[in-house]
Each structure stands twice: as C-alpha cells, then as structure tokens.
Structure 1
Amino acid sequence: MPTLVKAWTDAQQRLKAAGVDSPAIDARLLLEAASGATRLDILTDPYRELSAEQAGALEGYVERRLKREPVARILGRKGFYKILLGVTRDVLVPRPDTESVVDVVLQAFPEAMSFTMLDLGVGSGAILLAVLAERPAAKGLGVDVSEEALAVARENAANLGLADRAAFLRGDWTAGLGDESFDLVVSNPPYIRSAEIETLDPEVRDHEPRLALDGGPDGLDAYRLLAPEIMRVLKPGGVFAVEIGWDQSAEVEALFKAAGGDQVRTAKDLATKDRVVTGVKNPLGSDGRTG
C-alpha cells in the first residue's frame, strides 16, 4: 500500500499533468479526506501506509478531480471566510472573491451593533452566515428561488449554531418583503454574460448551477431588477453591498444611483479587481444632507 507521502506525490503529479490548478493543495485535501490524516500527519508521519479502502477512496477522488469536478463538490464542503460550509450541486461553491462582500459589511457595522440583514440569492448561506458569525447581535433573512439551495443554507446555519438568528424564505428576490425592512441588504447575483458561460473553466461551466451564473446578454439583468428593489426594502440610512463582475462597476454603480443610492462606490477584492458595489439609502431624502 502507498504511504501518505507517496500517495500525495502521485496524486499531485497526475493532477499537474492534467492541467489542474493548484495540484499540490488539491491532492493534499483529497488525501486528507480519503485517509483521515491531517496536514500535520502528512508532514510528521509521511511513511504511514494507507489501507486498501483509503487508497481506493483516494483513487476515486482523484479520478473525479481529473474530470475537473471541483474539490469542494467532491468533498461536499468548502471553507469561506472563517466558517466551513456544506455544499451540494444545488448551490454555487463559495469563492474567495465573495469574501470581499463580507469585508465591506464588517467595516460598515461595528461588532456590538444590532442590525437586520437580507441576503438575496442566499445559496449555501455563505455571505449571511459569515456575517452573522462575526456580528453576534445581528439577525438575517436569506431568500432564494431554489428550495434545494435553502435546504443547504438551513443545514449550514444549524451546523454553525446560527439557526436562531438566521431565517430562510423561498422567494423571487424581494417579492413579498415589506418596504424599509432591513438595515443591510447583500447579494451575489448571477452576472456572467450568457455568451461567456461556455468559455468558463470546466469546474464552473460543468458543475455550477446555471441559474446562479447567467446574468443575461450583458450580465446586468439581475442588477436592473435588484437596484430599485434593494432601495425599497432598505431602511433609511441602510447599507447595500452587491458582488459584481470585475468589469461591471460603472454600469452597476449607475443603476444604484438612479434608484436613489447615496455614497455609491466600488470596493476591490484581494486581486485588486473591482468586486463590490456598495452604498447607502439617504436617511434624509435626496437633498444630500447627512446631518
């Protein structure tokens, strides 16, 4: 039977030869899951042998990764911000880019502050639950059109001990929600141009729900609907933060300004690409006074 270090090396080489990004990390994650070993075990006990069952499990995982199935799909879990989320084929795998939305929110709401938040298109619950985990006085509602996605989000909330502060509702964006109901509204809507979906990496194109990717011909369909609706359900003085494609800042900012957004700006992600359009609902109307 192979040792930990040999199994890791072999898997890494196979993934690298197939052109998989980050083969060393992927091979280690798959090995840890198949063998029950930790990263420390691989370093300190590299010659531990895998059992036949463990070696078989690793082979199955590697074969799936060679077909460009994402590691998070294979393992059924993904780290996001400081939390670990379960993921299924019914939800987008949370990406590091989206952590920028959480960063913007945490800057706007101090740790002890009590506030209500709405996550439109909540998916796995990534943004909502990451914020609630960092802001113990906050409560939130996650809305999604997919009942399967909501089931994933509910289970993640329960596993994280956040079910008492997170509610979930099946709905079409803001339909049925009252005016001026939330202090914060966030969303990571579909924003890929329809014609570009087939050019995406296989991990995204073949394994992510199309509904969560397709933003229409120019990628902006969701924002046209969301901008006025987000402003409607925000309380005066409330904050919005939406993820965007790296080249959509000007268009999305314009949509929110036209809908009555104030102090609208774009925040960058860790790769210094435009990633989050954020702003507030003016608490004093449209005269620009801030008190």
Structure 2
Amino acid sequence: MNALLRWLASWPLGKLHTLGALLGWVTYLLSPTYRRRLRANADLAGLTPAQRRASVAQAGCMTAEAPWLWLRDGEVSPYCRWEGAELIEQAFAQGKGLVILTPHLGCFEITARAFAERWGAAHPLTVLYRPSRKAALRELEETARGRPGMDTAPATLAGVRQMLRALKRGETIGLLPDQVPPQGMGAWAPFFGRDAYTMTLAAKLVRQTGAHWLLMWAERLPGGRGFILRVSAPQHPLPGAGEPDSEALQQACARRINEEMERLIMLNPAQYLWGYHRYKAPRDAAASPAAAGTQGPAQ
C-alpha cells in the first residue's frame, strides 16, 4: 500500500484530481449509504443538483490529493496563494495565542502545512487530529503531519492539555470544528437547520486563554493549478464574554461557530465534504433535544 501511495504522490496534481473525480463518482454509485447521506446533507443546505454533482467529484479530488500532500518531497507553498494573510499577522501582533478553525471544505489538509511553512519557525502550530484505527495508516498520518513548525495533538484529554499549553505560550492551534467530537466534548447545535453534536473545545480554549480566533480554508483550483488559502475573521464574537462557563453558554458558542462554518461552506458548497457523517451521535451521548420525528430520515 505504501509503495502505491508513494507512486501516486509523484503524479502531477492535475492528474490526481482527474483520477480523484472518477473515484468520487465510482464511490457514489457503488455505495447506497454514502449516496443517501451525501444527498440528504446537501439537500439540508439547499444545494442545487449541479452543486451536489460537483461535490461528488470534489470529494474524490480530496482523497486523491492526500498522497501528494503526505508523501511528496518539497514545500507546498509554491502551489498556494494567500488571501487574508494580514489577519494572521495582526493576530500575532496582539501577543496572544491564535485559534484557527477550518471546516471540511476544499483541501483542508493543506491549510496546516501551508501555515507551518510560512510562519511555523516563529509561530509553531499544533493541530488536533483523530488517529486512524488502522496501525499502518496511523503511522503514515503521524509521519506525514509531523512537519517542521507543526505538531499534532490527538483528540484526547492529553491532546487538549497539549493545545492549552501551546496557546498559553502564545502559539497557534488548528481545529476542524465540524468534526463530530467524542462524547462529553460537544453540545447539540443547529447545522444547516438540523441539530448536530458540535465541538465545544474551540470556544473553551478561546475563552480560557483570551486567544484570537480566525477562520481559514483552502479552495481547490481547477486543472491542478493549486490552492487559494482564504483567511477571514468571524462576523461576530463568541457570546458570553466574561461570563462563567455553563451548559447554556457552551450551546450558544457551538451555535455561533456552526453559523460561521455555514457561512464559509456556502462560499463554495461544491467543495464541502457532504458525505461526512456530520449528524451522528457519539456512543453514550445524550440524544438531541429536538424531537426525533423532526430530524428527517436517519443517515
């Protein structure tokens, strides 16, 4: 498997995206479960049929470019163009930690590496990740993501402490806030009109450390022409500044972050990973407060 991935990593990016688009459609056609989930999630967001079809190919592109990102020698910076980088510089000037939130949109894997190549020497980055259950893939992920200026933190209590320490040192952390968190680390909040178990960690870290927070995603350009790294500030601050933590405040913060993620996603909905099982409930998590009959078909 590793030999195949390394061979694919040597391909030009445009060829990988062509292969990925084909694989995306093969997966969509052969997996009824994946097809139903993608269609249901896309319909919740009001995507047009054309946008939904484009998302099938884009999901395949995301998979096919992974070997290129993980195993290719050399920097990715020549393939990246930045828009909004001054917001990151301004955050650094405040002398506090920085939290960067990235949804499953575009080439989200490249965001951390591009950041580390540009700023990691002076401003190290720690990214939260969920280790693969497969040992071989887990080892590959850890090796590929362990780059100069970039560290990884597992989605465990130890990983949370690691990120907290990084922020207190004035460093940067990166999270995917639309990733379903483990039981006890989330709150139910609307996401495109349906309750989703949503990470509370990002807001807690911002509130506990006074860190600045920004939004970032990487738009995949056609024809293998690279990526645009887009950075933006949230439209509204997190609620409850100065208030003690509470379940109601956690839910309000989760709602606010979901609103920001929705805004980013709708800038380019064809590049969002609609097939992701966003609305699943972690094992032993309390059920959504919304009535089951209003939630639509199970996914």
Shorter-chain TM range is 0.3 to 0.5
Max Rg structure: 1
Which one has the bigger helix percentage? 2
Q: Which has the higher contact order (CA 8 A, sep 6+)?
A: 2
Could you tell me the TM-score, scaled by structure 1's length? 0.38
- TM-score normalised per structure 2: 0.38
